[in-house]
Structure 1
Amino acid sequence: MAELLSGTKALRGRAELDLRLGPFDYRQTAGYYGIEDPLVALHLYAILGGTPGYRDLIGTASPQSSGDLRELLLQTVANPSHALFSEAEYLLREDPRIVERSLYHSILGAVADGAHTPTAIAARVGRQVTALSHALSVLRTAGFLRRREDVLRRRRPVLEVADPIVRFTDLVIDPYRAVYEDRRGRRALEQAEPTLRSQIYGPAFEQVAREWVARYAATETLGGPAGQVGTTVVNDARGRSQYEVDVVALPVDQALHDPHARILALGEAKDSDSPRKVVDLHRLERIRDLLIGRGYRAGDARLLVFGRSGFDAELADAARRRSDVELVDLERLGSGQ
């Protein structure tokens, strides 16, 4: 539809309003589907995202347990007879610019599987980087790919699949498509379970943590109102290591990529069956010290530990005794500040 207003089209320059409706976030999605269990809500959000139109395709289903969700998946996205099984293909067909669909599928599959730069994507699909520039541009403008900026450093943004159901199709459906089409969806989902946990649920938990900081965390929690929220990478030359920081929050008046930026909060979000431990807090403390040493104003940055399975007694005790540490579990992500 956007193409009707661009280039040499007759409607170019005639648009008076550009109204863009984004998908629901995690908390809104849970309420929309009436899901009370925060873990079930997280997993559904990781697979279907916050597209409200999918409600019409799954009826009145409101899964309240992991078993309920598994049965819903078997009836919908893992069922070759259901429209959601081919949703990714339908979405690609809707854009007239996408002609060589096999190439676009390959690019999306490569990004979903961990190739996040044009060079890495080109290596995966066997093309020259320059030969992919148009396709990558189309996928970004069409909303299939999004750019994730490092909020502290000026470096090439990473690319990630924007639509959860496309990522689910690439990682969970396509590798076992023949098994699904042979009506053995339950077995295929069991085979894909490690991928679901590491490449679907894990990244979704990190995204939900960033959503919470940007939209729901109280000013008292962060030490001020949040502006830009994203990620960064911090090198530790002495320790010969590199830290990927899941959550970095800047104040509302702070611009991106300022070498002396004030940092409001640093966070680590891990989707794990085990409670988070005090070592996770020590890791954040080390990251904060490194950033201070490089000129960032992070001395009063809050340290946020996000734990899907809660926190052990030592970490909980440390948090109670400190004003700069916040522990955020699924319950708090779903309804707290």
Structure 2
Amino acid sequence: MVTKPERIFDRVREWQGLVAFATGVRQGPGGAGLGVVSGRRRQGKSFLLQALTEATGGLYFAATEATEAESLRLFTEALTRYSREIVSIPFRDWNDAIAYLFRAFRGRPVPVVIDEFPFLSKVSPSLPSIIQRELGPGGSGGESDARLVLCGSAMSVMGGLLSGNAPLRGRAGLELVVQPFRYRDAAQFWGIDDPRLAVLVHAIVGGTPAYRYEFTQGDAPEGIADFDPWVIRTVLNPQKPLFREARYLLAEETDIRDPALYHSVLAAIASGNTTNGGIANYIGRKSDQITHPLNVLEDSALIAREPDLFRAGRVRYRIVEPLITFYQAVMRRRWAELEIHRAERAWSSLRQTFLAQVVGPHFEALCRSFAVESGEALYGDFPAEVGSGVVNDPAGRCQIEIDVAVLDAEDHGRPRRILSLGEVKWGETMGHHHVERLARARDLLALKGYDTRETVLACYGGSGFTEELRASAADDRRILLVDPERLYRPD
């Protein structure tokens, strides 16, 4: 096993998967292998793959936005630097280049990384088909030991490489999506010990590694009292790269051709309009007119579609990248002031909006992540599905929103078990009335045929709990209290 360099934080599983693919002997028929690595920008994919090629003696080639002729020239130069052998006959096209590539790597498994692959496939649409042909019977890959890794950040493009009737479908021996750091790992990466501060910071920068050093020059809040000054001197500072990053994330997606429409859709979601109808009403369009933008944003991994666990056919949309939520809910409204360095005044009036529209929903998402990672010690069994939902209360003429619903696996022939129903509050001390509302939802769901006999009623409180509720939870194992300290405490 090739040792992971110390400069790479975490990424243990990703490193193990890459090394196993890049250096392992293929089972069955030999020949070259294909891997696909994707993930949103700034997650450290290139950093990881460069380290892999350095550690294993492989080739790393980073494509750029260029014509096919120039890209071939740059690729030839990379091959020459690596092999120290001059390519005698210039490549006419990618047919020559890919065939030469596979023939050049024989003797031992070696990773060959082509980063920013979407730049190449955009100007050379036949490139995936060429790779497929050379990997197939009679192709140059049959006697090659190359482990070709295609990497890119354009999620819609990378996701399409192996889907449906795509030429490379069924050819990949590695499909790795490099995700942002999980919230506990992100807090460790930022060097933050205070759980409440960790939530606030994560609500802005999430788990994106590049924002820690490249985009803030290593500036991290020193404590909860330094959070507001940190926001002003980093993300709201026009002189910092983080200031315009959210705009660039949208502009970099190749399928987005009407930025104004997509910004409005994201602004609607960031403002709490998370249903199809709510989004359409916010931006002044009909519901069927926003289906395509929502699909594009979902394919680009900028938003996620989350089903209502208790109402079939109902879905809500959530922005995946916290920085985009922060930009849409906070920065976009006062952009002109922020550009002329009036962040202090703008932030003082926008901080409450930040807490309500950014931190509150983000804390809910963190609590759902906590539920996914928690075992049977908390809920009596391992969660099979975690999400949110709405329970109709006809007698009370209201709807009860369940922020964290934890369900057991479906077992045909018996009622589905609800392991837990939870409510999340960031800025409110939680008390018995929150538990009573959850108990009412539990009883209503029991009438609908769910098994709620052992359902845990969970309160996720960012501002703590009343003493009475703490006393009740101490006596009743079916009442669970989770504060930020518990959220960040390792299991």
> 1:307 maps to what in 2?
461
> 1:37 maps to what in 2?
194
> 2:391 maps to what in 1?
234
> Are 2:367 and 1:209 equivalent residues in the alignment?
yes
> Are 2:429 and 1:278 equivalent residues in the alignment?
no
> Are 2:265 and 1:110 equivalent residues in the alignment?
no
Give the CA deviation at 1:9: 11
Instruction: Output one character per residue of 1:210-250: Cα deviation in whole Å (capped at 9) or x when no partner.
Output: 111111x3422211111211111001111111100011111
Conservation of the 8 A alpha-carbon contact between 1:259 and 1:296: no
Query: Superposed, which structure 2 residues align to 1:306-325 within 5 Å?
Result: 306-325=460-479
Q: Where do 5+ consecutive residues of structure 1 fail to align?
A: none
- Counterparts in 2 of 1:20 and 1:8: CA distance versus 1, 3 Å: closer
> 2:417 maps to what in 1?
262
> What is the distance in 1 between the residues matched to 2:426 and 2:438?
17
Conservation of the 8 A alpha-carbon contact between 2:403 and 2:422: yes
> Are 2:219 and 1:219 equivalent residues in the alignment?
no
Amino acid at match of 2:387: G
Query: Superposed, which structure 2 residues align to 1:16-165 within 5 Å?
Result: 16-55=173-212, 56-165=214-323
- Counterparts in 2 of 1:255 and 1:8: CA distance versus 1, 3 Å: closer
Determine helix, strand or coil for the equivalent of 2:313: coil
> What is the distance in 2 between the residues matched to 1:317 and 1:308?
18
Give the CA deviation at 1:173: 0.3
Determine helix, strand or coil for the equivalent of 2:418: coil
Superposition CA RMSD, Å? 2.3
Give the CA deviation at 1:255: 7.3
- Counterparts in 2 of 1:183 and 1:62: CA distance versus 1, 3 Å: closer
Q: Where do 5+ consecutive residues of structure 2 fail to align?
A: 1-153
| TM-score, normalised by the number of residues in structure 2 | 0.64
- Counterparts in 2 of 1:10 and 1:137: CA distance versus 1, 3 Å: closer
Determine helix, strand or coil for the equivalent of 1:327: strand
Aligned partner of 2:403 among 238, 246, 266: 246
Amino acid at match of 2:266: L
Aligned partner of 2:448 among 294, 306, 309: 294
Determine helix, strand or coil for the equivalent of 1:220: helix
Determine helix, strand or coil for the equivalent of 1:53: helix
> What is the distance in 1 between the residues matched to 2:278 and 2:432?
35
| TM-score, normalised by the number of residues in structure 1 | 0.92
> Are 2:176 and 1:176 equivalent residues in the alignment?
no
Amino acid at match of 1:45: H
> What is the distance in 2 between the residues matched to 1:312 and 1:186?
34
Conservation of the 8 A alpha-carbon contact between 1:152 and 1:259: no
- Counterparts in 2 of 1:93 and 1:308: CA distance versus 1, 3 Å: same
> What is the distance in 2 between the residues matched to 1:222 and 1:63?
35
Determine helix, strand or coil for the equivalent of 1:303: strand
Conservation of the 8 A alpha-carbon contact between 2:310 and 2:391: no
> What is the distance in 1 between the residues matched to 2:395 and 2:471?
30
Conservation of the 8 A alpha-carbon contact between 2:182 and 2:207: yes
Identity rate, percent: 36
Give the CA deviation at 1:190: 0.8
- Counterparts in 2 of 1:146 and 1:255: CA distance versus 1, 3 Å: farther
> What is the distance in 2 between the residues matched to 1:295 and 1:127?
38
Conservation of the 8 A alpha-carbon contact between 1:36 and 1:64: no
Amino acid at match of 1:325: I
Give the CA deviation at 1:111: 1.4
Determine helix, strand or coil for the equivalent of 1:147: strand
60-69 vs 204-213, which moves further: 60-69
How many pairs are equivalent? 333
Give the CA deviation at 1:162: 1.4
